[in-house]
Amino acid sequence: MSSTTDKYPSNFIRTIIEKDIAEGKNGGAVLTRFPPEPNGYLHIGHAKAICLSFGMAEEFGGATNLRFDDTNPLKESVEFINAIKRDIEWLGFQWKEERYASDYFPQLYEFAEQLIREGKAYVDSLSAEDIREYRGTLTEPGKDSPYRDRSVDENLDLFRRMKAGEFADGEHILRLKIDMASPNINMRDPAIYRIRHVEHHQTGNEWCIYPMYDYTHCVSDSLEGITHSLCDLSFEDHRPLYDWVLDELAMNCHPQQIEFSRLNLQYTVMSKRKLRQLVEEGMVDGWDDPRLPTISGLRRRGYTPAAIRDFCRRIGVTKSDNNVELALLQSVIREHLEDSAPRVFGVLNPVKLVIENFPEGEKVALTVANHPKDESMGTRELNFTREVFIDRDDFREEANRKYKRLVLGDEVRLRYGFVIKAEEVIRDDSGEIAEIRCSYDPDTLGKNPEGRKVRGVIHWVSAEEGLPAEIRVYEPLFTVDFPDADDRDYHELINSESLTVHQGFVEPSLQKAGLDDRFQFEREGYFCIDSKDSTEGSLVFNRVVGLRDTWAKIEKAGGA
C-alpha cells in the first residue's frame, strides 16, 4: 500500500505536520482519525478523506483510529458500520483502533457535569422553536434564554433527571454557556445533550440522553490522543467551539483541527442524503450500484483500490472549491488497468458472420497474447471457426476510406486470425442484417496479403465456442455535470440511459473469470464480473470504463 505512488504531492496539511514534527510538537507523533457516522455508505469523497488521514499518518510513522461518530442513534445502524469497515479495508487501509464515540458516553457525561458545576453549561427548557427564535440571525445577535441563569444545583438536578429518564424527548436540553451575541452562530450557547428515548446500536437502552457532535468530537479526539484532526471545510466555523470545549475542560491533549475542501466530482452527487434517496427510491440497484460514487459501487463497477487511491492523490488537498472532471477518474483507472488487465475478446452487439469458404466443423487453433506488451502475462488459445460474431458497429455496407473496419465488398482482419472479405448481407423479415456472408484468405495468418492493404483489424468471438454473456455498459447517472448546482429537482436530471444491457458473447476463457479479475475486451474497454448477479451458468459483466475513443471523436466531427 505504501508505494511511492501513494505519496501526496506537496500540500498545506503536510506542511503543517512537518512543521509540528520539526518543532517537536506532540513529541513528534502523528495520530489521526477517520470519524464516519454510520448512517450511510462511504463514497469517493470519503475516500479522499481516508487517503489523507491514513496517508499522512503513515507517511510520518503514525497511525489512524477508526472512530464511529455514533451520537445520533435515530439514523445509524450496524449495517452501515459493517459496510464502512469493509470499504476502508478494501481501499487498503488498516486502522490502529476501532473506537466509537459511544465508548466515551460515560466520560462525556462526567465532563458535562463538570461544566455545569463550573457554571459553563446549563439546562434549557425552551422549546426547539423558541431556541431557534432566541438564537437570532446571521446578522442579528441572539438573546439569552430565560433559563440561562439557573443555579448550578438546579442544573445538576435537572441534568441528572434528564439522564434518569424523567423527561420526554425535547423537554429539556443541555447547552454550553458561551455568548448569545457571538458573531459566530456556533458559539451562541450550542446544545450539547438532548433527550432521545431510543435504543442505541452500541449501548442499547443504557442512555436516553445523547451528546451532540460539537461536544463529542473534540473530547473524543482528545481522549484518544489525536494530534491532527482533519475534516472538511464545513467545520471551519466550529473550530472555535472545538477549542473552547477542550480549553474549558482543561484537557491535557488538545488536537489540532485542520480543514480541507471536499471533493466535487462531475456527473454525480456526493451527499449522503441524496445517495440514500436514490437507493431508497429504487432508482439504482442498492448502495453498490455501479453507477454510484460509493466505494461499494466503484468496487462493483470494477475500480481498483490502487486506482482510487491514486485518484485521491492526484486531485490534491486544498481549501479551495474544486470541480473535478470525470475524465480524470476515468483516466486513472484506464492507466492502472492498461498494464494489469489481460486482453480478451468480447462482442457487445453481435452480428453473425459466416465464412463460406472455411470448411464446416473445422477449427484453426490460434495462440494469442494476453497482453501486447507484457509477455509475462502469457498466451491463450482461441479457435478460429467458420461462424463468428463481430460487433454491429464494425460493419457498414458502405463507408469511406477513413472507416477502418469491415465494409461490404472489402477486406478486414479478424484480430489474430485471417483476413476476410464481406461478400453479401442477409436480412431478416424486419430488414435488419441477420448475417454477413464472407470469404477468407487462408494465406493471411500472421502475415499481410500481397499487394493489398487491409482496412483494419476487428475483434470477434467464435459463434461455436463463444459464451453468451450479459454485458452492462454504464454512463453517468446524471445528465448535467453538477446536479447539486442545478435548480431543478434531481429527479429531472437523472440520465435515463445510464445503463445499457447488451446480450453479447465472450471468449471461452472467461468461463473461469474471478470476482477480482479485470479484463480488457480488446477495442471495447475494461470489464469485470458483476459480483452480485453473475453466475457460472449466466455470466454478467460490467464495463469499468471504455477505451479512449478517438474514432468517436472523428465520427462526431463528421469525419466518416
Q: Does 519 bind RNA (CB under 7 A)?
A: no
Stretch that binds RNA, among 157-165, 282-290, 324-332, 486-494 (CB under 7 A): 324-332
Q: For strands 346-347 and 499-506, give the pairing.
A: antiparallel
Residue 149 exposure: Cα atoms within 13 Å on the Cβ side:
3
Stretch that binds RNA, among 145-153, 323-331, 470-478, 507-515 (CB under 7 A): 323-331
Residues 6+ apart with CB under 8 A from 476: 266, 267, 268, 291, 326, 495, 498
Q: Which amino acid is present at 55?
A: G
Specify whether 37 is catalytic: yes
Angle between helices 105-117 and 213-224 (to 10 degrees): 110
Contacts with RNA by CB under 7 A: the residue count is 90
Q: Does 553 bind RNA (CB under 7 A)?
A: yes
Stretch that binds RNA, among 115-123, 295-303, 511-519, 544-552 (CB under 7 A): 544-552
Specify whether 262 is catalytic: yes
In angstroms, how far is CA 53 from the centroid of its own chain?
17
Specify the residue, 289 or 459, whose C-beta has the smaller distance to RNA: 459
Which of these is catalytic: 160, 196, 262, 415? 262
Cell matching residue 132 = 431557534
* Sign of torsion over alpha carbons 276, 277, 279, 284: negative
Specify the residue, 208 or 284, whose C-beta has the smaller distance to RNA: 208
Pairwise CA distance, residues 236 & 333, whole Å: 33
Q: Where are the alpha helices (DSSP H) in 249-380?
A: 272-280, 295-301, 305-315, 326-340
Which of these is catalytic: 37, 236, 465, 470? 37
Instruction: Name the DSSP letter for residue 252.
Output: S
Pairwise CA distance, residues 206 & 290, whole Å: 40
For residues 20 and 227, the answer to whether their CB atoms sit within 8 Å is yes
Specify whether 421 is catalytic: no
Query: Interface mask (CB under 7 A) for RNA, residues 4-43, using x and -?
Result: -----xxxx--x-------------------x-x------
Q: Does 328 bind RNA (CB under 7 A)?
A: yes
For residues 290 and 297, the answer to whether their CB atoms sit within 8 Å is yes
From 3, 252, 376, 550, residue interacting with RNA (rule: CB under 7 A): 550
From 425, 457, 463, 499, residue interacting with RNA (rule: CB under 7 A): 457
Specify the residue, 426 or 554, whose C-beta has the smaller distance to RNA: 554
Distance of closest approach, residue 554 Cβ to RNA, in angstroms: 6
3-state secondary structure of 279: helix
Q: Where are the alpha helices (DSSP H) in 254-318?
A: 272-280, 295-301, 305-315
Site for RNA in 419-448 (CB under 7 A): 444-448
Nearest CA among 112, 116, 122, 97 for reference residue 207: 112
Distance of closest approach, residue 271 Cβ to RNA, in angstroms: 10
Residue 15 burial (CB < 10 Å; 0-12/13-18/19+)? Answer: exposed
Nearest CA among 120, 102, 205, 103 for reference residue 159: 120
Which of these is catalytic: 67, 99, 177, 272? 272
Specify the residue, 66 or 289, whose C-beta has the smaller distance to RNA: 66
Q: Does 197 bind RNA (CB under 7 A)?
A: no
Site for RNA in 275-314 (CB under 7 A): 314
Specify the residue, 315 or 544, whose C-beta has the smaller distance to RNA: 315
Stretch that binds RNA, among 102-110, 325-333, 433-441, 535-543 (CB under 7 A): 325-333
Could you please report the per-residue DSSP string of 521-540? ETTTEEEEE-TTT--SSSEE
From 92, 225, 286, 316, residue interacting with RNA (rule: CB under 7 A): 316
Q: How many CB atoms lie within 10 A of CB 72?
A: 19
Pairwise CA distance, residues 223 & 240, whole Å: 19
Site for RNA in 151-170 (CB under 7 A): 169-170
Specify the residue, 19 or 491, whose C-beta has the smaller distance to RNA: 19
Pairwise CA distance, residues 30 & 228, whole Å: 7
Site for RNA in 77-136 (CB under 7 A): 126-128, 131-132, 135
Distance of closest approach, residue 452 Cβ to RNA, in angstroms: 14
Specify the residue, 368 or 499, whose C-beta has the smaller distance to RNA: 368
Q: Does 173 bind RNA (CB under 7 A)?
A: yes
Site for RNA in 334-393 (CB under 7 A): 334-335, 338, 343, 371-373
Site for RNA in 250-269 (CB under 7 A): 261
Specify the residue, 425 or 445, whose C-beta has the smaller distance to RNA: 445
User: Which residue's entry shows cell 464515540?
Assistant: 101
Stretch that binds RNA, among 91-99, 396-404, 463-471, 508-516 (CB under 7 A): 396-404
Distance of closest approach, residue 29 Cβ to RNA, in angstroms: 23
Distance of closest approach, residue 240 Cβ to RNA, in angstroms: 8
Catalytic residues: 37, 262, 272
